[in-house]
Amino acid sequence: MTTSASVPTEGAISSGGRVTDRLVNANERYAAAFTDPGMDARPVLHVAVVACMDARLDLHAALGLELGDCHTIRNAGGVVTDDVIRSLTISQHKLGTRSIVLIHHTGCGLEAITEDFRTELEMEVGQRPAWAVEAFRDVDQDVRQSMQRVRTSPFLLHTDDVRGFVFDVKTGLLREIDPA
């Protein structure tokens, strides 16, 4: 399997946006062969997946999903934040999702930092971020916390099918987390 990791990146960011140019060129090739799949924004499987933004997680491949199957919401850590609740609320109320799958993973970068990151940023740029870092030490416990945030949100219509998992970045396997 060839990945972007095998493509030289030297100077990619500092040379006038070569990475973005590469992405735009790839889109032009994609668009040349593109045909309208004829679907709307409602996911076929009525599921929303919340996961970490980590580049090692190929969610569609790992979960056997196809285009149009799910809504995918990603952020640092796959943490259920106010913005994730906003997206899930729209997904459920306006686009018909009923199930929510939460996916954290082993070796997450949020395990290596603390909330002090906000103070470091304040010292660096002169303004304190309004958002929480949502750092954690125990990935299983953070999945439980995320499940609890979903289940107790007054904005979500469907909280009976909420399941949380940890994706192992070495094996590709999901391990389900007991919410208790």
Cβ atoms of residues 118 and 128 within 8 Å? yes
The predicted-structure confidence for 68-121, as pLDDT tens digits, reads as follows 999 999 999 999 999 999 999 999 999 999 999 999 999 999 999 999 999 999
Residue type, 5: A
Cα–Cα distance measured from residue 135 to residue 117, given in angstroms and rounded to the nearest whole number: 9
Beta bridge partners of 51: 74, 103
Token pair belonging to 18: 């070569």
The predicted-structure confidence for 151-176, as pLDDT tens digits, reads as follows 999 999 999 999 999 999 999 999 99
Residue type, 142: D
The residue-averaged pLDDT of 138-161 equals 97
